[in-house]
Amino acid sequence: MIRVSNLTKHIGEVQALADLSFDAANGQITGLLGPNGAGKTTCLRTLFGLLTPDSGTAEIDGIDVAKDPLGAKQQLGLFPDPFGLYERLTPREYISYFAELSGMGRAEARDATARVITRLHLQDIADRRCKGFSQGQRMKTALAQAIVHQPSNIILDEPTRGLDVMSTRLLRDILKDLRDQGHCVLFSSHVMQEVAALCDKVIVMAGGKVVAVGSPAALCRQTGKDSLEEAFIQLIGTDEGIAA
Amino acid sequence: MHPSQSANVSKAYLLSRCRLGAIGLFALLSAQALVLAPLAWAEATATGTETGDASCYVEGLADRLKCGFITVAENPDKPAGRQIDIHYAVLPAIKQSHPGEALLAIAGGPGQSAIDNAANFDRIFTKVRQQRDILLIDQRGTGRSHPLNCDSDPTLEPLALDDTALNIGAEAGRCLAKLDADVTQYGSLQALADFELVRRKLGYDKLHLYGISYGTRMAQLYMRRYPEHLASVTLDGVVPMQQSVLAIAGAIDRAFELLLRDCRETRACQAQFPALADDLTLVETRLAKAPNLSQSRDPLTGEPTPLTMTLGKFLGAIRMALYMPNTRALLPHAIHEAARENYQPILGLYALTLDGAGMAMGMHASVVCGEDMQRLTPALKARTRASRIGRDMLDGLGQTCAVWRVPAASADFAEPIASDLPTLVLSGELDPATPPSWGELALARLTHAKHFIAPHATHGVAFQSCGNNLVAQLVESASLEDLDPDCLSKDVRRSFYLNASTVETIPASAGKQTAAAAPAKEQP
Amino acid sequence: MLSKLLTLVRKELLDAARDKRSVMAGLYYAIGTPLVMCALFMVLIAQLASPEDLDIKISNADRAPDLVRYLGNQGINHSDSEDAAKIRLVISQDYPQQMAKAKSAQVTIIADNSDEKLQTSIRRLQAQLQAYSSEMGSLRLVARGIDPRVVRSLQINLEDQATPDSKGGMILGIAIFTMIYSVFISGMNLAIDTSAGERERNSLALLLSHPLSTRQLVLSKIIAVTLFAMLGLVLILLVSKLAYTLVPWQELGFSISISPQFMALMLAIGLPVALMAASMQLFVSFMAKTFKEAQSYLTMVLFVPLALSMAASYNIAPDALQWLPVSGQQQALMAFIKGREIPMLQLLVSSLATLALALALALGMERSLKSEKVIFGL
């Protein structure tokens, strides 16, 4: 469960977030949709405490990130963009490293790593170094890292960028799985199809604030358009920065 | 640096100090006789525990040495009796590549201190020391090891003294009374046991020996008694075991003849001193009749002093000058001047011999009386008496040994050394103490030995030629295989002095030239 | 807390060990430097030592045959070769005349004294001429019935406190310098890789998104880099110990040996330096925007401790240097190897200063990692 209330943030001269507020509930996939420069990444970084907001709060499972960053991050899994792989480590080493950093013991981390490797069908590459991996292999490794410690909240930053069809499908299945298990899944994207196919709830952002909130169908209804894409363009008032 | 003799004029001097025996026997090796006062025991922390080692310094050497001593019974048969300290000094290897080895350099005399001569050994054995320690031991009765010194009667004035009138027996008795020692315990064999104890204490598995002069006797005894602890041996100016050192008298006569021959065969010398042999005979005859009495100046203090030039002093001064190529070069001039009744050059040479080069005369007598005096054959005695200085030598030693009463060494002492150790024997053609024929004698039963004769060297080949490099090579390889004696033949002769100032041919004009005109004329 | 630190360090080391560039940079230096230095010194020794047989060109040799033979006995000979002409000895025309009248005869050495290869040989020739001169002087006095000791009014003794080791002080200074340098060099690539590189590969933000404190992160990186630096130090000590024994130092009259005691002391003293070096390199690298930029900054920053160390290895250093980081430790090490008493107070002060500097840099880094600018390289 993620809650953002009245976040504002300036980066240099630019106002990145302007009084941003939204919720992402457990058992739901929430999509953060917006054109490039809408403030999606800034928003996510703020959730991880990497950026300090000028005002407003970010809460993870009710824990204020600014007040107890470690406690808040304990409940988070991050699928970053870019992935941030260590090329000289194998996926198994990489995943279990982050599992331990998320608070698991060594043995516990090892077991959890083995489980997530099976789950994501990573067995054949699990003990090869990451250097030279395909985009799909990288995505799976990064995803495994994000979910290995079974966080209640999983945040994905542009997860499908550069993925092939098979990988995208796999990702979708996993995210749905996580949702069905009651996790709160929040992902940012500017890809319409993704959002349409996956999200229970879409938060449309532009210029650092929420423009509209609702299920894809509700948004279509609200704008009177047939497709989410049309609805989106209608909502943000431009087609700049949209990918089909 | 190519080592060879030092800058100092003289090197080996013996005890021609008249008190005891009037003669020194073997030559010794002190290089700095001309310059240095007796060397002081400069020790950083002089007294340590019985086995303690300390760093110390010796004169003429800036390096920090490792010094120490062992305490032994003076008489091995009376272990509870008088205890004496045997001091040693180690010139540490610059780069210790062979910690189990050292070069033991043994001094001559007998009676010289090896440690006092550390600077000379260091100079000639620079190469050896690069990788191995050099071990110096003051043999019992010398240097710092319970020295048996016989200080001269201070009322006797050596320049004025008529040494023919001296009662040597009484002098010896006076010295013996003052010594706190059993003088029969200061022979070579007792000292050999000390050397071996020092080796064991310092933990060297193998020693390379270098013996000079009397030191070759110690080296040969070492070869006989403890060959398993030796890696190589160099005998420089060797006194073979078969030889009584008193045969030196013949060697001295031979060296006089070689001097006369060399001058005769050198054009400039022959031109300047055409009748040198006659000059010598003239002075000998004159002084044999009566000493020459004159007023002179003390060579050191400049005080006026009566000078009694006796035949003994005259021959002793020449004999000692023959030890070193550079003083030898002055002899034709000195003899010629003496024939003209000018004894100043002889006085100068005689003065060089006066401090006896720090010889411990008591120890000298202990060795010679026990090991040499009593094995004189009648034939050798007769030959010696017929030689230039033999009579005085025998008389003096006879009186001393009568007082010293050292038992004769056993007969097998004089057996030749049988050994298969790599042994380098070095002789100087011009040696006034241990001529090349003695080197041949030493070879008798050495199966791995080479004898090299340096044609221009006197006593102590390693000090005057490339001999020291041959020693370094032998130490490094422990083999005689590649030793090449060619370098010993290099012409390193010293030109004879033609007057009191020059060794170079005097230009015809120089004598007549006025002092003022000469430089102007000669500048090109 | 501790287990996370362990996890971090373990990963840093694993990652670094697999990084050829980081490993090689350290290894090449630690192994190569002593070998290169030893090779250089071997060449240098061969050039600086006067040859056993020194050939020079002697003019008017016929005027002073005794002198020429004397020099020959000392291994100094006349030769007509081109090499020999670099040192010329000219015997004056009036040498015999002057000698005969007991006046000073002139001999002139003509050589380029600024040529290092000749200096030893020139000094040697001078010394031998001096020796010949004083020998003749002595014999002239003897010939006049005077004891030559009268002209040696002073007997000058030198008791040199040096040990064969301490005589090589200058070279040891350089050797110690290379060792201290290795502390800086061995960890440098890792320091850049794990900071600027980490950010460049986008893993820094990911790391910081995890529940760990920046202190843990900073500590783990300092520990990893320090371990690498110390590994380099151990290596260079071992290689030096072997390599330095191969050089014929004894020809210069001293020895250089790396004793186990020295190695232990070097490691003990090297640890604070390594901590400081690691903190400094990480700090600077975090400040840089890219890997490349970090490299160039570090090269500049490295100059300071190295200049300190270099200055301390020569005697030009002002006394203040013995209290400062790096130079203080260097001087203590040199005192040890020269067999002198180690200046404990100075060593303590400089080591504490080194540690204080390391701590300050670590704290600075901890702070800076909370800044968005540093995390994202903005």
Interface present between A and B (3 or more CB pairs within 8 Å): no
For residues B238 and B247, the answer to whether their CB atoms sit within 8 Å is: no
How many domains is chain C partitioned into structurally? Answer: 2
Higher pLDDT, A74 or B337: B337
The mean-pLDDT minimum among A139-148, A228-237, B10-19, B128-137 falls in B10-19
Chain pair A-C, CB pairs under 8 angstroms: 80
Which helix (H) or strand (E) element contains residue C263? helix C260-287
Residues in chain A within 8 Å Cβ distance of C208: 48, 50
* C58 inside domain: yes
The mean-pLDDT minimum among B188-202, B323-337, C28-42 falls in C28-42
Are C183 and C270 members of one domain? yes
Q: What is the ipTM of this complex?
A: 0.88
Are C89 and C210 members of one domain? no
Chain pair B-C, CB pairs under 8 angstroms: 188
Burial status of residue B511 (CB atoms within 10 A of its CB: 0-12, 13-18, 19 or more): exposed
Q: Is B141 helix (H, G, I), strand (E, B) or coil?
A: coil
* C157 inside domain: no
For residues A183 and A156, the answer to whether their CB atoms sit within 8 Å is: no
Cα B137 to Cα B55: distance, rounded to the nearest angstrom = 15
Are C180 and C258 members of one domain? yes
Helix residue ranges, H only, B212-330: 215-225, 248-265, 267-272, 276-289, 311-321, 325-328
Domain boundaries, given as residue ranges, for chain A: 1-75+153-244, 84-150
Residue of B nearest to C49 (CA): B1
Are C239 and C132 members of one domain? no
| The pLDDT value given to residue B50 | 42
Does the beta carbon of C50 lie under 8 angstroms from any beta carbon of chain B? yes
Residues 166-225 of C with CB under 8 A from B: none
Domain boundaries, given as residue ranges, for chain B: 51-150+199-244+413-489
Which is nearest to B469 in space by CA: B455, B482, B451, B456?
A: B482
Q: Phi first, then psi: what are they for C314, rounded to 5°?
A: -115, 170
Helix residue ranges, H only, chain A: 40-47, 69-74, 91-101, 106-119, 135-147, 165-180, 192-198, 216-223, 228-236
* One-letter amino acid of C141: L
Cα A128 to Cα A219: distance, rounded to the nearest angstrom = 45
The answer to whether the Cβ–Cβ distance between C143 and B131 falls below 8 Å is no
Are C54 and C38 members of one domain? no
Report pLDDT digits (tens) over B445-483: 999 999 999 999 999 999 988 899 999 999 999 899 889
* C158 inside domain: no
* C290 inside domain: yes
| The pLDDT value given to residue A232 | 82
Residue C366, domain extent? 2-46+163-376
Are C244 and C227 members of one domain? yes
Using the predicted structure, report yes or no on whether residue B10 has a pLDDT greater than 60.
no
Using the predicted structure, report yes or no on whether residue B435 has a pLDDT greater than 70.
yes
Question: Do strands A201-206 and A184-189 pair parallel, antiparallel, or not at all (unpaired)?
Answer: unpaired
* C250 inside domain: yes
Are C143 and C96 members of one domain? yes
The answer to whether the Cβ–Cβ distance between B504 and C159 falls below 8 Å is no
* C66 inside domain: yes
Report pLDDT digits (tens) over B249-272: 899 999 999 999 999 999 999 999
Are C267 and C134 members of one domain? no
With a CB cutoff of 8 Å and minimum separation 6, the contacts of B65 are B55, B56, B57, B58, B89, B90, B91, B92, B118
Using the predicted structure, report yes or no on whether residue B34 has a pLDDT greater than 60.
no
Are C211 and C314 members of one domain? yes
The structure's pTM equals: 0.74
Of A49, A86, A102, the CB nearest to C203: A86
Q: Bridge-partner residues for B86, per DSSP?
A: B70
The answer to whether the Cβ–Cβ distance between C15 and A100 falls below 8 Å is no
Structure tokens at B268: 């400039």
What is chain A's mean pLDDT, rounded?
A: 87
> What does CATH list as the number for A1-75+153-244?
3.40.50.300
The mean-pLDDT minimum among A65-79, A160-174, B8-22, B197-211 falls in B8-22
Last residue of a domain, one of C151, C177, C205: C151
Which is nearest to A80 in space by CA: B101, C319, C210, C317?
A: C210
* C121 inside domain: yes
> What does CATH list as the number for B51-150+199-244+413-489?
3.40.50.1820
Residues in chain C within 8 Å Cβ distance of A100: 3-4, 7
Which is nearest to B497 in space by CA: B330, B325, B302?
A: B330
**Which fold, A84-150?**
Ribonucleotide Reductase Protein R1; domain 1 (1.10.40)
Using the predicted structure, report yes or no on whether residue B44 has a pLDDT greater than 50.
no
Q: Which residues of chain C register pLDDT less than 50?
A: none
Cα C26 to Cα C193: distance, rounded to the nearest angstrom = 13
Of C201, C209, C372, the CB nearest to A73: C209
